[in-house]
Chain A
Amino acid sequence: MQNPRKNVSSPRTEKAGLSFNAIQPAESPSVIKQDRFIMPDTNQRAPMFVEQQDTLILPAVHETALPLVEQQDTLIMPAAHKPAFPAATQYNSQALSTEYQGVPPSAIDQETMTTPAVSQANLSSKSAPFLQRAAAILLVRAKEPEPEGWSHTLRQRALQFQNKPVGWTSVVLLIQALGVCLITYASVASLQTSTDQDTFLWLGFLVVFSPAFLRILLPIASRTERIVLLSSVGLCIYLAPQIISPLHYVFVDEYMHLRTVNDIISTHHLFADNSILPISPLYPGLELVTAALSSVTGLSTFVAGFIVIAVARIVVLQALFALLEQVTRSSRTASIAVMIYMANSGFFMFDSLFLYESLGMALGIFMIFALYRSETTEKGKRGFLLVACLALGALTVTHHVADFFFIGLLLLWTAVNKLMGKPLLRSNITLVTLLAFLLAGLWVFFVARPVIGYLSSPITAALTQVQNILTGSTGRQLFVDHTGTHPTPLWERLAMMASLGFVVLGLPFAFIVIWHRYRRKAFPIVLAIVSLLFPVIQLLRLTSDSTGLPDRASAYLFIAIGLALAILITQMWPVRKLKWQHTLVITVIVSLVFLGGNILGAGPSWGLMPGSYRVGDDGRSVDMQSIQTALWALEHLGSNNRMYADSSNALLLNSYGEQHIVTMQDDGVDIAPVYYASTYDSWETALLQAGHIRYLVVDMRLSTSLPVKGYYFDGTQEPDINVTVPISQQSLLKFNTIQNVDEVYNSGDIIIYDVGGLTNAAKAP
């Protein structure tokens, strides 16, 4: 039976598939994507475009010059071929031209090119220096219009897998489960041996991430498979902090938000005072959802918060995937971008925690996703616009930094749109940008005025430190803690530096590629610009900035970096040229970026892994005795008594105990010096009276060692900062001997003193 594809007579012969050995009709101006195309020697009129054949054989007696021959897997040009080499011979995997006598005007990016000796001197690409050739390849591949174009073989395989949308997902998920087991082993071994087994933690991370990335990098994976794998990697990494600390929060700020949730549940209203984090009640989005879930289901606030952040994590990943898929029109590029997004230094720790930023990030990305859809879709524009506005409204009251970042992004998007000559007044982006400004302005002016001081002070401090570093006056010693006894392992240092190095190195190339590929689309250009902020922000790592601005910014910047690097990967290694060696190398590099980024954000291993009690060390300072003390205080002393305690006990008394912790930030009084003094004098009474303190909480364990974080008490002035010797037992026990001071509670290590007799401070009603 004759092949129906033979003797095709059409102006454009494309995607014919299978074998094609026939005589090419003379009238066909383009011959594209045949498996095997033999140019007939009787052909008098050359096709305009001859591209993407698996094999192209040019006959010896073919008389006509070809204008463009590109993207063949194999190009065979016989020795006696008379016309000049095609005007542009590029992207061919193999170009064979033994004893060929002509002079090719350009020969770019063949995988293998065999040319006769007489032609070598004329091949500019071969004789040019390496950098020049690399630049030429970069530019050519950057302009590749269809990097996701499949070969015929791949198409055939895809058709086979069409009925298996989940593909290899089940196997990859099983491997990821083994990764979770490694994370659990690291945690339990650390707990039982009191040694940091974080190597197994990071190994577990690699086992979770690398197989999924490898699968996602392959063009054959279905969209469903990509969606499932993105969610599974995100959730496995989300589980890691919960496995490390399954009974309590792992980070101090989580307790501060817990207090706001408890206040909402107990008072049924918003904006109750939270002395440790006064800004938290003013941005109550996370606490509202958690309180709603806890109230309606009866779950504890701890479990409700865990579920809410898990859902936020899903929304972040899936909304980002959907957004970038719309931008790039490729689920493969989008899923690679989201996997690279997971390499941001906040992904494992900061954005997995019960913090308002975790939800703010989800709402922000969701808002941008809806807005982009409203711009690109033909039907449902208004629906998506409404979705974007609702998400924006929720974002405004959820997290200040996330809100301000996405406002900035909207503003830049509007500006780029304007520069591209798009009508601003008819654009949904302009409308939403104006709305974002209005909502943020109203919220800050009427509700959250303290946010200005809250945000400006750390930024000012960080900038001052940068200025000091640039002038050479101060700096920070990297990879050591405050006690100087826990150096970061060498391999972790190398991983972190390699991660930063690969990202910083890749960004300029990514920018060039995006510029060539997407210069007429505003949003990719906006993200490319944003991604360039990353190297600048890394300067702050050299400062002793305690707020961790580079890590905090990383979560936002990686939205752009993910896309930029994913486009760089897909353009530089188009699907048709992707070999297993490339796939392996890319997987190794991206896994390293992921690992290094997350090690960077997790902080030092001694502060990460669980173990026995340690002084002044966030999660490790929270133990049963401290929690039970806080609960006792709530039960027997009532709530909202004015108290003072060391940083760990203060957190627990504030959250579980619902007490008002007197702070420098909220009350303007620093009580810490009272603890340091070895004897009791009248100035201490004056200080306690100034703070209207009713109860002092003393943890005798403070005298056993220096605080790992570098300070015993939060938000204090000297001498607590840069303390060099542990606080003495005598200083802590002095309250026992003071008249009018009652010792109302004693659990061995923790004592609560009632100093109402000194200060005349009343108990809370």
Chain B
Amino acid sequence: MRRKHLDLILALIIAAINGGWILLPNRPIIGTLLCGLPLILFVPGYTLTEALFVQQPDTATATRTGILRPFGASDRLVLGFGLSLALVIIDGLLLSILPMGLAQPSWAISLAILTTLFSLIALYRRRAISTVSAQKGSARLFRFTFYEALLFLLTLVIVLSAFLYSVIAAQQQQQQSTFTQFWMVQAKQTNHNCAVLIGIQSFEATSTHYKVVLTANGTQLHSWPGVTLVPKQQWYQSVTLNSGDIESAYIDARLYRLNKPGSIYREAHITLHGSGGSNGGKLVC
């Protein structure tokens, strides 16, 4: 009994794990992948196929050798994949009109419910089918000798290695293009409109030393003479202007590299304006 319905039992387990998975705060990535991939791409379609076609349709054709080609494993695979894609799309359309929307829990639960429902229907319809006929058709689809299996494995290793090599080569090429981001935006602070946020992110090839100079209306406000960043490291500072009875301030930030202190490497500037209202269009610091 268990062996006869092993496929459906497995489908139910996958559905149950995915349904219960969402309750766990920290989910292991491998487990999520192993259960999530089939739930989206194969299991709903496969269980619906099993529910619909318990009796194998009589579409067999005979070859010259007399080998029958029943509605077997390969066709069930196609139906499983194709129907799963269709079901996920239709499920998504229905979920999108519900208040919960297309969030992770709603995907997992809805597909788990569908899988469970189809599996139960298939189990019910299968009750009269003998073990032999239920297993027929899939037994001899793939049977390898040791050497064939070895060649398959070798093929897989070669293809994966080739792909990984292309990824590594692309990453190396990407690292050759080096640059530094320098930016300044108005800081989001309640009751203030005279604060700015200055930032640097280095995408240089090696550790780089910078100097930052900040001026307001031509007067130097701050200077950071020794900012050292390793590749991909970020640096940022929030700076609030001194109180002053001014309507606007032209803030200019300049970035220098310490190995070329005489030339501006990057520059950013913004103009802060008073917001009007109770403070009479003045900057509030």
Contact = CB atoms under 8 A, between A and B. Distances in A.
A, B: real partners: yes
A745 B181 contact: yes
A227 B74 contact: yes
B108 interface: yes
Contact of A166 (B32, B39, B61, B144): B144
Contacts of B166: 184, 187-188, 243-244, 246
Nearest to B64: A150
A392 B82 CA distance: 11
Nearest to A265: B102
A8 interface: no
B142 A628 contact: no
A347 B140 CA distance: 31
Contact of B36 (A164, A291, A293, A628): A293
Given A285-B89, A377-B57, A746 B268 contact: yes
Contact of B148 (A166, A192, A311): A166
A159 interface: yes
Nearest to A223: B69
A303 to B, nearest CB: 10
Nearest to A264: B102
A559 to B, nearest CB: 15
Given A239-B159, A296-B18, A377 B151 contact: no
Interface in A362-402: 362-363, 366, 369-370, 373, 376-380, 383-384, 386-387, 390-391, 393-394, 397-398
A203 to B, nearest CB: 14
B181 A628 contact: yes
A252 interface: no
Contacts of B75: 322
Nearest to A331: B69
B179 A747 contact: yes
B102 A268 contact: yes
Nearest to A150: B64
Contacts of B29: 298
A757 interface: yes
A68 interface: no
A299 B171 contact: no
A550 B280 CA distance: 65
Contact of B40 (A149, A150, A293): A293
Interface in A142-176: 148-150, 154-155, 158-159, 162-166, 169-171, 173-174, 176
A180 B37 contact: no
A155 B88 contact: no
Nearest to B169: A188
A55 interface: no
B156 to A, nearest CB: 8
Interface string B134-165: 00000011111101110110110011001101
B158 A319 contact: no
A586 interface: no
B58 interface: yes
Identify which of B61, B148, B155 gathers the most chain A CB atoms within 10 Å of its CB.
B155
Interface stretch (B182-190, B208-216, B237-245): B182-190
B170 A748 contact: no
A181 B152 CA distance: 16
B52 A387 contact: yes
Given A379-B57, A380-B53, A624-B174, A387 B85 contact: no
Given A383-B52, A749-B179, A394 B85 contact: yes
Contacts, number: 302
A516 B151 CA distance: 44
A224 B142 contact: yes
A624 B185 CA distance: 22
B40, B93, B171: residue with the most chain A Cβ atoms closer than 10 Å? B40
A289 B182 contact: no
A655 interface: no
B228 interface: no
A379 B58 contact: yes
A295 B107 contact: yes
Interface string B1-25: 0000000000000000010000000
Interface in A244-278: 244-247, 264-265, 267-270
A173 B102 contact: no
Interface string A168-212: 011101101110110110011001100000000000000000000
Nearest to A314: B81
A296 B89 contact: no
Interface stretch (A428-436, A601-609, A667-675, A736-744): A736-744
The dominant DSSP class at the A interface is: helix
A516 B141 CA distance: 35
A531 B152 CA distance: 37
A125 interface: no
A623 interface: yes
Contacts of A311: 41, 81, 85
B58 A362 contact: no
Contacts of B61: 329
Nearest to B165: A184
Given A288-B89, A390-B83, A632 B183 contact: yes
Nearest to A169: B148
B21 to A, nearest CB: 8
A192 B203 contact: no
Given A315-B85, A625-B177, A184 B268 contact: no
A397 B94 CA distance: 12
Nearest to B181: A747
Contacts of B59: 326, 373, 376-378
B104 interface: yes
Contacts of B107: 292, 295-296
Contacts of A150: 64-65
Contact of B57 (A174, A378, A748, A754): A378
Interface in B214-265: none
Nearest to A739: B271
Given A298-B32, A749-B179, A394 B78 contact: no
A387 B83 contact: yes
A363 B270 contact: no
Contacts of B171: 247
A246 B65 contact: no
B77 interface: yes
Interface string B166-202: 1101110110010111111100000000000101010
Contact of B78 (A166, A169, A369): A369
A165 B82 contact: no
A640 B74 CA distance: 46
Contact of A170 (B86, B155, B271): B155
B165 A390 contact: no
B132 interface: no
Contacts of B111: 292, 296
B170 A378 contact: no
B179 A625 contact: yes
A174 B32 contact: no
B165 A171 contact: no
A307 interface: yes
A61 B198 CA distance: 109
A312 interface: yes
Interface string A73-84: 000000000000
Interface of A: 148-150, 154-155, 158-159, 162-166, 169-171, 173-174, 176-178, 180-181, 183-184, 187-188, 191-192, 223-224, 227, 236, 239, 242-247, 264-265, 267-270, 284-285, 288-289, 291-293, 295-299, 307-308, 311-312, 314-315, 318-319, 322, 326, 329, 331, 359, 362-363, 366, 369-370, 373, 376-380, 383-384, 386-387, 390-391, 393-394, 397-398, 610, 612-613, 623-625, 628-629, 632, 636-637, 740, 742-749, 754, 757
The 10 closest A-B pairs by CB, nearest first: A268-B101, A380-B57, A297-B36, A288-B92, A383-B52, A170-B151, A394-B86, A366-B82, A177-B158, A742-B270
9 contacts: A155-B65, A163-B143, A293-B36, A318-B77, A390-B90, A397-B93, A743-B269, A747-B180, A747-B266
Given A150-B65, A623-B177, A743-B270, 5 more contacts: A163-B143, A265-B102, A315-B78, A362-B82, A363-B86
